[in-house]
């Protein structure tokens, strides 16, 4: 069961990471305006999502990769907060989803931490 959790988490981050490259303009829109080079930040975060998720599949790099995912989740938190605070009614993402997304980051961090403990 633990391995299944790990594979599901890895697959999810690979898919989201690929979306950073396939839908860059959508991700650029949620980068807070105070941050420089939004497209570069989108590409960098996508690269790390894919790389770290794949690294979780190997016992030798799993712990480091899971901690890296936790750090990445902290790093993208400003984008999630920016989406919430600059919400425009009629947006394609419902406001309540953006509200729940902030604490859900904590759930994702706990999931990554739990997967860091897998020794198989």
If one counts the domains in the chain, the total is 1
- What's residue 108's pLDDT? 98
Q: Which long-range contacts (CB under 8 A, 24 or more apart) does 79-86 make?
A: 79/27, 79/30, 79/31, 79/32, 80/30, 80/105, 82/30, 82/31, 82/32, 83/30
Q: Kindly indicate the confidence band of residue 95, based on its pLDDT and cuts at 50, 70 and 90.
A: very high
Task: Check residues 89 and 26 and name the one with the higher pLDDT.
Answer: 26
- What's residue 83's pLDDT? 92
- What's residue 87's pLDDT? 82
> 32-89 pLDDT, tens per residue?
999 999 999 999 999 999 999 999 999 999 999 999 999 999 999 999 999 999 987 8
| Whether residue 119 has pLDDT greater than 90 | no
> 9-25 pLDDT, tens per residue?
999 999 999 999 999 99
Q: Where are the alpha helices (DSSP H) in 1-120?
A: 2-22, 24-28, 38-55, 62-85, 95-116
| Whether residue 90 has pLDDT greater than 90 | no
Averaged pLDDT, 96-109: 96
Domain that holds residue 79: 2-116
- What's residue 34's pLDDT? 94
Backbone angles phi, psi at 77, to 5 degrees: -55, -40
């Amino acid at each position: 069961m633990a391995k299944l959790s790990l594979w599901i988490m890895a697959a999810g981050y690979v898919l989201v990471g690929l979306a950073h490259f396939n839908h860059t303009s959508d991700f650029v829109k949620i980068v807070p305006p105070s941050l420089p080079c939004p497209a570069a930040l989108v590409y960098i975060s996508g690269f790390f999502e894919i790389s770290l998720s794949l690294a979780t599949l190997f016992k030798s790099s799993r712990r480091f990769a899971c901690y890296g995912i936790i750090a990445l989740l902290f790093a993208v938190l400003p984008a999630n907060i920016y989406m919430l605070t600059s919400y425009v009614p009629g947006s394609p993402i419902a406001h309540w989803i953006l509200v729940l997304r902030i604490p859900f980051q904590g759930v994702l961090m706990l999931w990554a931490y739990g997967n860091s403990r897998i020794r198989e």
